[in-house]
């Protein structure tokens, strides 16, 4: 039985761990949230007391943590991956981080005799639960092939997009597109409500036309009902927009919509929506439109 040592059992990591267990992998995982460790144990996994315990004895080390510094800490801290994992271990980073950090992490991993894939995912909590994530993978052909069954247990669209760092570059583009779609949907919802349109009918027909998208499928109802329990937090999308705008500037690519979305995400965060689902961008449209746009009983 292949053992996966998983660092990070949050909104995404926890359902991914369950899918690996259901697929026949052994999972030993660590998270700072005790509730997540209890959930892993209940699903048949092995909770670890710290990251070192999760890494030790694992055939594959997987990471699903919030940001670039977190990934580097898991790799380089005392008792971390570089110190604990034996040579030849395959390390897969499912987090969303800076492309240059991913490429450098892979270089350091090779210096320690390890194999490394950057494999950020898209699909949110719903995709993680369903095992239908899109996974964009950067790394060597051999390492991509070696991880095939690991990816298949949690993903539906799995594509090797290039060398180390390429996975994160594609994910940055993904987050730009998602953010723009999310804002357009938020504006459309408020526009439709202002005219008293039957929202269920309107959303149904929009889903069937060119305006239809995964964003609309997953987020329209959350916006209409103003239920913003996080499937993917504003805080994380704010971080991702920082990644894409910085990378675009470095590459000399002008992304005016991306720059606007970075500001709107920052505004949502500054107004207290950081821990809400990124569909809470709707609240920003309400704030810009004034008190009359806010539905009764729904505070902006």
Q: Which residues are catalytic?
A: 171
Alpha carbon 92 to chain centroid distance?
A: 14
> Quick one: which of 274, 260, 266, 173 has its CA closest to 232?
274
Classify residue 293 by burial, with Cβ atoms within 10 Å: 0-12, 13-18, 19+: middle
> Which residues, at least 6 apart from 158, have a Cβ–Cβ distance to it below 8 Å?
134, 135, 137, 148, 151, 152
Tell me the angle at which helices 166-194 and 199-207 cross, rounded to the nearest 10 degrees: 140
Backbone angles phi, psi at 14, to 5 degrees: -65, -50
Residue 295 DSSP code: P
Residue 209 DSSP code: S
Classify residue 28 by burial, with Cβ atoms within 10 Å: 0-12, 13-18, 19+: buried
Burial 243-256 (b: 16+ CB within 10 A, else e): bbbebbeeeeeebe
Give the three-state DSSP class for 29.
strand
């Amino acid at each position: 039985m292949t053992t996966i040592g998983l660092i990070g059992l949050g909104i995404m990591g926890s359902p991914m761990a369950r899918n690996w267990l259901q697929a026949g992998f052994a999972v030993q995982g660590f998270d700072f949230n005790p509730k997540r460790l209890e959930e892993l144990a209940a699903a048949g996994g092995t909770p670890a007391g710290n990251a070192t315990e999760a890494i030790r004895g694992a055939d594959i080390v997987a990471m699903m943590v919030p940001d670039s510094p977190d990934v580097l800490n898991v790799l380089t801290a005392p008792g971390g991956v570089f110190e604990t994992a034996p040579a030849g271990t395959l390390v897969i980073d499912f987090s969303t981080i800076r492309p240059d950090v991913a490429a450098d992490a892979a270089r350091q991993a090779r210096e320690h005799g390890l194999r490394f894939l950057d494999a950020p995912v898209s699909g949110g909590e719903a995709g993680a639960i369903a095992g239908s994530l899109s996974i964009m993978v950067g790394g060597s052909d051999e390492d991509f092939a070696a991880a095939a069954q690991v990816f298949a247990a949690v993903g539906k669209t799995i594509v090797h997009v290039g060398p180390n760092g390429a996975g994160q570059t594609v994910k940055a583009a993904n987050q730009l597109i998602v953010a723009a779609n999310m804002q357009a949907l938020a504006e459309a919802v408020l526009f439709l409500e202002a005219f008293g349109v039957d929202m269920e009918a309107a959303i149904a027909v929009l889903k069937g036309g060119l305006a239809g998208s995964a964003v609309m499928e997953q987020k329209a109802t959350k916006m209409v009902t103003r239920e913003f329990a996080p499937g993917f937090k504003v805080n994380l999308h704010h971080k991702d927009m920082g990644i894409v705008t910085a990378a675009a500037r470095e590459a000399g690519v002008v992304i005016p919509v991306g720059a606007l979305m970075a500001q709107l995400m920052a505004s949502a965060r500054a107004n207290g929506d950081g821990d809400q689902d990124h569909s809470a961008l709707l609240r920003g449209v309400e704030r810009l439109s004034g008190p009359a746009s806010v539905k009764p009983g729904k505070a902006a």
